[in-house]
Amino acid sequence: MPVQPATNIFEKHNHRRCLKGGMDEARALCQTQGLRLTPVRARVLEILLESHKALGAYDILAILDMDGMGRQPPVVYRALEFLVQSGLVHRLEKLNAFAACCHQGSAEGRGHEPMFLICTQCRQVAETSLKEVEGSIEKCAAALGFEVQSRVVELIGRCPACQGGAGL
């Protein structure tokens, strides 16, 4: 059975529910892990949950500045570092950007290996699990005598809406 994303962000859905659910899960995770979700950290996570897009640190910083929460780059970089380390946000290597984790409260939880589908046109990001393809990756690497230590899989293309479909 194919692994599905927690929410298919390429389909019309309730963004408020994503935001509320994501923030509730983040607060619960921080409480159980003894982590501190400061107002700036929480706002950065909200920004990423609201957008479903890959956002760069300076995109986020501009919003924080409008909110009166700081305009210096270290403010956003410290918040992003915390959020990435706690498993609430992923760094997208190809775009040098960040996206909220859609598996933060799932059984996969912290430390799962995601696969990202990134729209080049609207920058929407869908997250799913690597479980379906990880065996193939390992076999290919083993055939070359290579030991895989970590994986980052980012598929770049166009979402249904940007292809003219019935997406968002």
Q: Residue 149 carries which side chain, given as an amino acid letter?
A: Q
pLDDT one-digit tens code per residue, 85-142: 998 999 998 889 999 887 654 434 455 678 888 998 888 888 887 877 878 888 999 9
Percent helix, strand, coil in the chain (nearest 5)? 40, 15, 45
Other CB atoms within 10 A of residue 105 CB: 17
Instruction: For residue 2, name the pLDDT band (cuts at 50, 70, 90).
Output: very low
Cα R_g (the chain), whole angstroms: 17
**Nearest to residue 48, comparing CAs of 149, 108, 127, 134?**
127
* Rounded-to-integer distance, Cα 137 and Cα 131, Å: 10
pTM score, whole prediction: 0.77
Q: What long-range pairs does 72-75 form, CB within 8 A, spacing at least 24?
A: 75/40
Structure token pair of residue 56: 């760069």
**Domains of the chain (ranges plus CATH)?**
15-157 (1.10.10.10)
Residue 89, SS3 per DSSP: strand
* Rounded-to-integer distance, Cα 26 and Cα 87, Å: 9
The predicted pLDDT at position 109 comes to: 45
pLDDT one-digit tens code per residue, 15-36: 677 788 889 999 999 999 999 9
